[in-house]
Amino acid sequence: MSTDPERRRFLGVLAVTTAGAVSLPFVLRATRPAVAADAPRPAQGGSVTIDEFAPDKKPLGSRTQPRVVMTDEAWRAKLGARSYDVMRHDGTERAYTGPGWNRHDNGIYRCLGCDTALYDSATKFDSGTGWPSFWQPISRKNIVQTDDRSLAIEDRTAVSCARCGSHLGHVFDDGPDPTGLRYCMNAVAMRFVPVPGVHITL
């Protein structure tokens, strides 16, 4: 029994279109920059070289600092319950609940645990996720990226502070230009320091 030529042509076009639609997300993903993980989290103690910044964002150069090491009880007392859960036990705050998650003032976001400079407000963007998002850190020396396999459904790249090892959030490859990255941070893991003389929006 012969097949209608028009029907065969239609089925062929349908098959090609379906295959293209399925493969397109993988093609687009391949054009994005890879999210690179660093070495595993460093052991406690010792020292680390980080880039330091003045309150007006002026770079002060690289300096070697001792790692911040504290007991679990001391971290709990310093950070408070919400920040302690996120920073010392890799927790995640609920979206749209972190203090200043939607802030757009000019300044620097610093680690709540050790005051290391993490992000410049100039790289912050509205990701629509409810978490502070940045397209790059203020310095790659100041953070550590590690593989996070805590969720069976996907591999993620966790971001922690290079000096105190506190968990900050995750980085994804769906951000805007110029990096194509989205550093999705927990607001409770950072404190915002405005440039002197700049009004803060509450």
pLDDT tens digits in sequence order for the chain, 202 residues long: 444 555 555 455 444 444 444 333 333 344 444 566 665 555 567 999 999 999 999 999 999 999 999 999 999 999 999 999 999 999 999 999 999 899 999 999 999 999 999 999 999 999 999 999 999 999 999 999 998 877 655 678 999 999 999 999 999 999 999 999 999 999 999 999 999 975 555 5
Residue 82 backbone dihedrals phi, psi, to 5 degrees: -65, -50
Range of the domain at 6: 1-31
- Is residue 26 located within the same domain as residue 74? no
- Is residue 2 located within the same domain as residue 42? no
Is residue 178 classed exposed, middle or buried when 0-12, 13-18 and 19+ CB atoms within 10 A define those classes?
exposed
- Is residue 26 located within the same domain as residue 43? no
- Does residue 43 sit within a domain? yes
- Does residue 200 sit within a domain? no
Active-site option among 114, 161, 164, 184:
184
- Is residue 56 located within the same domain as residue 97? yes
Give the total number of structural domains in the chain. Answer: 2
- Is residue 88 located within the same domain as residue 6? no
- Does residue 202 sit within a domain? no
Q: Is 184 a catalytic residue?
A: yes
Q: What pTM was estimated for this model as a whole?
A: 0.78
- Is residue 124 located within the same domain as residue 188? yes
Q: What is the pLDDT of residue 28?
A: 37
Collect all residues with Cβ–Cβ distance below 8 Å to 195 and sequence separation of at least 6: 55, 56, 57, 106, 107, 108
Which 3 state secondary structure label does DSSP give 30?
helix
- Does residue 199 sit within a domain? no
- Is residue 137 located within the same domain as residue 73? yes
